[in-house]
């Protein structure tokens, strides 16, 4: 490879050569809309194959984005992904749950692309099952629990606060914002009171951190509670309107997920893993009246990565279903035990709830992956109205709610939906 291999021109030349090695004569794919920039895009001369070549130095997040967008742009073509051996595992991990024709080829510096065998679902699930489940009991404050007992009781009794127990800390949230956290170290209890703003505005003070080594005095407790009270007041009175998605999640949780029929229980921000070994959190993990597990992902404003992220969690929950049920005390399913996927979407600042890539990505899922889409017209509403979007409507634009998809429905996708809709 030449000395200027890192230049965009040379990268495109190398990518075109790799695409030709796999698909023959190719043409640059230019749909008139922006594509992920860390990959090169081509179609073969018959327009029956879409070839996506990832930059060899692209980070995994950029490769995942190219994979996600390619599923939407694929339409009725075969999709060919040319990746480095280091970039390929996450895509291979997902492909057993993808119903459209996708091939993965790997290439190293100076070599010809080579096809990679896609693993079976059982192989992926066996690999995924090795990652631990981090549910269970919350953080143990040890002897520090007595030092903060009065503050803990006050936080639990406050009507606006929702408690979140984690293995590494305890936390209390108000309308989706964490306003109190406690964590025990070797000798102290670290208390963080107030909101950690990503982009603080005027009047939004940083959280107060206390290092407690003995029982809180009345003055110390009053000072901490004053910080919490201010954060709660700002959130409830809409002085702090940041992070609309977290607020919507909190309201949905308080209303027991209206419209989703998760009638028994749900767990918010459940710790999980994404391929290959990346930590993450499910927005909600739920169980329905038939004891089937549901991965619930929420999003305010369209997101081209939503379906891929949700699929990653669905695969992990499928692999860990037994352990999760034991952790939560949930019974075995009464009927088929497939994990279900629910997307709860809302618009944001003119961005539709269901973005232009989502329909094609949902359509690309294998026919036995159960999924539903729910729309929330107003994520700021104190009691959001959640309405299910019919499957056949994911390609039908709705002003402010459903974007025009980048591709029309696939022919195979229509047959696939008919099979799903008529299956028992």
What is the b/e burial string over 16-45, where b = at least 16 CB atoms within 10 angstroms of the residue's CB? bebbebbbeebeebeeeeebbebbbbbbbe
Let me know if residue 199 belongs to a domain. yes
In a domain, 165, yes or no: yes
236 band by pLDDT with thresholds 50, 70 and 90: confident
| Range of weakest confidence among 47-61, 143-157, 159-173, 362-376 | 159-173
The pLDDT of residue 378 is above 60:
yes
- Helix axes 306-319 and 121-128, enclosed angle (nearest 10): 80
Evaluate whether residue 330 is within a structural domain. Answer: yes
Is residue 170 domain-shared with residue 313, that is, in the same domain? no
Residues 26 and 58 in one domain: yes
Q: Residues 102-109: contacts with CB within 8 Å, 24+ apart?
A: 102/71, 102/74, 102/78, 103/78, 103/79, 105/22, 105/80, 105/81, 106/82, 107/18, 107/56, 107/82, 107/83, 108/84, 109/1, 109/56
User: Residue range 192-205: average pLDDT?
Assistant: 81
**Last residue of some domain: 84, 119, 154?**
119
- Domain membership of residue 129 (yes or no) is no
Tell me what pLDDT residue 123 has: 97
Residue the block writes with tokens 């408690």: 163
Phi, psi of 149, deg, nearest 5: -60, -45
Asked whether residue 273 falls in the same domain as residue 383, the answer is: yes
What angle do helix axes 306-319 and 60-74 make, rounded to 10 degrees?
100
Token pair for residue 113?
């692309």
Mean pLDDT of 339-357: 93
- Helix residue ranges per DSSP H, 201-319: 218-236, 244-254, 306-319
Among 119, 152, 175, give the residue marking a domain's end: 119
pLDDT at 159: 60
Neighbours of 243 (CB within 10 A): 18
Answer for the pair 314, 128: CB distance below 8 angstroms, yes or no: no
Domain check: are 398 and 262 in the same one? yes
pLDDT for residue 245 is more than 90: no
Residue 207 and residue 322 share a domain = no
Residue 135 in any domain: the answer is no
Statement to judge: residues 321 and 284 lie in one domain: yes
Counting residues of the chain whose pLDDT is more than 70, the rounded percentage is 93
Average pLDDT over residues 57-61: 94
* pLDDT at position 273 over 90: no
Whether 60 is in a domain gets the answer yes
Task: Kindly report the CATH number assigned to the domain that includes residue 372.
Answer: 3.40.1350.10
**pLDDT, mean over the chain:** 87
CA R_g for the chain: 24
54, 66 Cβ separation under 8 angstroms: yes
Average pLDDT over residues 150-173: 82
Per cent of the chain over pLDDT 90 is 54
Q: Determine how β-strand 102-106 pairs with β-strand 39-44.
A: unpaired
Determine the distance from the C-alpha atom of residue 183 to the mean position of all C-alpha atoms in its chain, rounded to a whole number. 26
**How far apart are the C-alpha atoms of 355 and 106, rounded to whole Å?**
30
Rounded to the nearest 10 degrees, how much is the dihedral formed by the CA atoms of 80, 85, 91, 95? 70
- Whether residue 1 is predicted with pLDDT greater than 50 in this model: the reply is no
pTM of the model: 0.81
- Is the pLDDT at 418 greater than 70? The verdict is no
**Highest-confidence segment of 9-18, 177-186, 352-361:** 352-361
In the chain, how many domains are there? 3
Give the CATH number for residue 91: 3.40.1350
pLDDT at 109: 80
Which whole number is the average pLDDT over 225-244? 81
Please check whether residues 282 and 384 belong to one and the same domain: yes
User: Do residues 263 and 402 share a domain?
Assistant: yes
Q: Is residue 138 part of a domain?
A: no
The two tokens of residue 164 are 């979140």
Select from 244, 256, 81, 73 the least CA-distant residue to 162: 256
Residue 2 is predicted with a pLDDT of 41
Mean pLDDT of the region 61-81: 96
84-103 exposure pattern, b = at least 16 Cβ within 10 A, e = fewer: beebbbbbbbbbbbbbbebb
- SS3 assignment, position 349: coil
Question: Are both 216 and 327 inside the same structural domain?
Answer: no
99 and 163 co-located in one domain: no
Residue range of the domain that includes 382: 244-422
Same-domain pairing of 230 and 248: no
Q: Identify whether 133 is part of a domain.
A: no
| 251 in the same domain as 204 | no
- What is residue 98's predicted lDDT score, i.e. its pLDDT? 98
């Amino acid at each position: 490879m030449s000395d200027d291999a890192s230049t965009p021109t040379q990268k495109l030349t190398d990518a075109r050569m790799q695409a030709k090695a796999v698909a023959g004569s190719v043409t640059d794919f230019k749909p008139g809309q922006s594509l992920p920039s860390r990959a090169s895009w081509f179609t073969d001369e018959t327009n029956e194959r879409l070839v996506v070549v990832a930059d060899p130095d692209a980070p995994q997040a950029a490769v995942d984005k190219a994979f996600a967008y390619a599923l939407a742009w694929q339409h009725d073509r075969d999709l060919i992904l040319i990746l480095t051996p280091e970039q390929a595992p996450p895509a291979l991990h997902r492909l057993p749950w993808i119903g459209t024709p996708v091939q993965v080829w790997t290439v190293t510096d100076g070599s010809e692309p080579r096809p990679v065998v896609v693993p079976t679902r059982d192989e992926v699930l066996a690999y995924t099952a090795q990652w631990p489940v981090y549910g269970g009991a919350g953080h143990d404050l040890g002897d520090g629990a007595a030092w903060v007992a009065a503050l803990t009781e006050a936080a639990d009794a406050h009507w606006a606060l929702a408690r979140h127990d984690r293995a590494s800390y305890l936390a209390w949230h108000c309308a989706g914002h964490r306003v109190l956290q406690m964590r025990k170290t070797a000798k102290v209890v670290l208390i963080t009171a107030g909101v950690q703003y990503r982009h603080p505005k005027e009047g939004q003070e940083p959280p107060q951190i206390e290092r407690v080594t003995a029982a809180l005095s009345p003055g110390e407790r009053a000072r901490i509670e004053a910080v919490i009270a201010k954060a709660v007041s700002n959130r409830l009175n809409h002085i702090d309107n940041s992070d609309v998605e977290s607020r919507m999640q909190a309201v949905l949780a308080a209303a027991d997920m209206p419209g989703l029929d998760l009638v028994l229980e749900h767990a918010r921000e459940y710790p999980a893993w994404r391929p290959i070994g990346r930590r993450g959190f499910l927005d909600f993990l739920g169980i329905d009246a038939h004891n089937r597990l549901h991965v619930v992902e929420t999003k305010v404003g369209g997101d081209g990565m939503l379906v891929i992220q949700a699929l990653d969690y669905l695969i992990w929950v499928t692999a860990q279903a037994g352990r999760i049920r034991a952790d939560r005390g949930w019974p075995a399913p009464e009927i088929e035990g497939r994990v279900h996927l629910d997307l709860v979407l809302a618009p944001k600042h003119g961005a539709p709830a269901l973005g232009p890539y989502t329909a094609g990505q949902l359509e690309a899922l294998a026919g036995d992956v159960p999924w539903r889409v729910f729309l929330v017209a107003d994520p700021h509403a104190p009691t959001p109205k959640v309405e299910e979007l019919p499957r056949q409507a994911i390609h039908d634009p709705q002003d402010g709610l459903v974007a025009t998809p980048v591709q029309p429905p696939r022919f195979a996708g229509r047959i696939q939906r008919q099979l799903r809709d008529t299956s028992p």
